[in-house]
Amino acid sequence: MTEAAASPVWGDPAAWENPPALHGEVAADICVVGLGGSGLAAVGAALEAGASVVGIDAGPIAGGAAGRNGGFLLAGGALFHHAAVEAWGEERAVGIYEESLAELDRLAAELGPIVRHVGSLRIPASEEEAEDCAQQLAALERHGFPARAADGPTGAGVFIPSDGSIQPLDRCRLLATRALEHGARLHCDTPAVALAGDRVTTPAGAVRCTAVIVCVDGWLERLLPELDGQARSSRLQMLATAPVEPGRIPCPVYDNWGYEYWQQLPDGSVALGGGRGVYGEAEWGREAEPGADVQEWLERRLRERVGVAAPVTHRWAGVIAYTPDRLPVFAEVRPGVIAVGAHSGHGNVLGSAAARAATEIALGRPAPRLARLLRPEHWN
Ligand SMILES: Cc1cc2nc3c(=O)[nH]c(=O)nc-3n(C[C@H](O)[C@H](O)[C@H](O)COP(=O)(O)OP(=O)(O)OC[C@H]3O[C@@H](n4cnc5c(N)ncnc54)[C@H](O)[C@@H]3O)c2cc1C
């Protein structure tokens, strides 16, 4: 395995002027725990509503999965649309898809060039998967969502023009900068060590508040042990290469039932992740350090399946959590503590939408449609 930087291709989250740790006691209407894309969306929503907000993170801004992911912006939930219809019911799956499309539009307006509207392509790795792609396409067309057939190496895949990609670290840094400018107090290197709805305790301080929103994906069950069994954490790994000729891979590609995924970045480098189909069992409960087996396997896929020979420049890992039904945790887990997380590998779009919905609820407003769609058992 060749030598490469052990940081995401997006940049090292620690190499930035992250806000300083919290020392002492502060008060705010809302305390947000976790400053990834979701937590920062909650901070922004609280500010928009005129509430005071303190956000804390155990590490740097976007130090978790939010700064270490594949950068795909995909509509819908963590299941392909036809599978979502089967698992969650038609009305719910369609509603969730609609809400994700609205969030994609909101992200594009909010983030400008950090979002690239290039679509996404699912390619089948077998004839069986080609049949599944046909079913996915049929379900999307039946519900009037944008999609069309597109050629893949083993049959027709699905091109979804409303999808795209994002620079995930830049997203979080931009949102953190804006939040600070609008009066939020943000503190990095500030883990929550005790959590109640009116008080979040940290190693050198505390936040007094009227509600807490926890926006944590990987290791959510560690922070809130009552979620053990509902959220289960796993490592995901990626690598990236030196630039190849730009335009070679026009949009993010989803291969082999979504187990592998890659995209070409604007500078020409290729970022590829996956391996769960082969190594998934061994990745449960692992920390966010790249491991040799998966990295070697990813490099083989890069050479053989994607056909990219450029040297690998970055190897990294992140931790996310999965739920049994592949819909996120979205619940008041303790009085005044709403948890949003465990996005089953798809938190870039619905994560921020759910966090904004959680903010509405935390401010005493009626549960938004997305909350009722994701977790009707809690919010209807
Ligand atoms: C390799 C990889 C590829 C992925 N690819 C995609 C993709 O292409 N598209 C997609 O939609 N999704 C993808 N995902 C999933 C996606 O990254 C996540 O769902 C999303 O980033 C979650 O963001 P978040 O803000 O909800 O949570 P997180 O990113 O988990 O942020 C939570 C934050 O909380 C902090 N925290 C944790 N515990 C505490 C504590 N006790 N006190 C204070 N702070 C705490 C962490 O430090 C972290 O910064 C991928 C994930 C990985 C790892």
Give the burial string for 35-58 (b: 16+ CB within 10 Å, else e): bbbbbbbbbbbbbebebbbbbbbb
Prediction pTM value:
0.98
Element (H, E) at 352: helix 347-362
Binding pocket residue ranges, ligand 1, CB within 6 Å: 33-39, 56-59, 63-66, 68-72, 74, 191-192, 215-218, 223, 236, 238, 273, 318, 320, 341, 343, 345-349, 351
What is the pLDDT, as a whole number, of residue 277? 87
Q: SS3 sequence, 230-257?
A: CEEEEEEEEEEECCCCCCCCCCCEEEHH
344 Cα: distance to centroid of ligand 1 (angstroms): 10
169 Cα: distance to centroid of ligand 1 (angstroms): 11
Indicate if the pLDDT at residue 76 is higher than 70: yes
The SS3 call for residue 188 is coil
Provide mean pLDDT across the span 28-49. Answer: 98
Q: Residue 137: CA atoms inside 13 Å, Cβ hemisphere, count? A: 21
Provide mean pLDDT across the span 217-224. Answer: 98
Structure tokens at 114: 């950090």
| For ligand 1, mutation pick of 163, 195, 217 (most atoms within 8 Å of CB) | 217
150 Cα: distance to centroid of ligand 1 (angstroms): 31
What is the rounded end-to-end Cα distance, in angstroms, of the chain?
52
For residue 111, how far is the Cα from the chain centroid?
16
Closest CA to 314 of 1, 11, 9: 9
Cα–Cα distance between 275 and 296 in angstroms, integer? 10
Model confidence pLDDT, tens digit, residues 136-176: 999 999 999 999 999 866 678 999 999 999 999 999 999 99
Cα–Cα distance between 8 and 15 in angstroms, integer? 12
Q: Residue 108: CA atoms inside 13 Å, Cβ hemisphere, count? A: 16
Per-residue confidence at 189, pLDDT binned at 50, 70, 90? Answer: very high
Provide mean pLDDT across the span 350-360. Answer: 98
Closest CA to 67 of 347, 362, 358: 347
Per-residue confidence at 6, pLDDT binned at 50, 70, 90? Answer: confident
- The residue whose CA has the least distance to atom 42 of ligand 1 is 191
298 Cα: distance to centroid of ligand 1 (angstroms): 21
Per-residue confidence at 1, pLDDT binned at 50, 70, 90? Answer: low
| For ligand 1, mutation pick of 189, 216, 333 (most atoms within 8 Å of CB) | 216
313 Cα: distance to centroid of ligand 1 (angstroms): 22
Cα–Cα distance between 248 and 53 in angstroms, integer? 44
Strand ranges inside 188-287, DSSP E: 194-196, 199-202, 205-208, 211-215, 232-241, 253-255, 260-264, 270-274
| Residue whose entry in the numeric block shows the structure tokens 């809690």 | 378
What is the pLDDT, as a whole number, of residue 152? 66
126 Cα: distance to centroid of ligand 1 (angstroms): 31
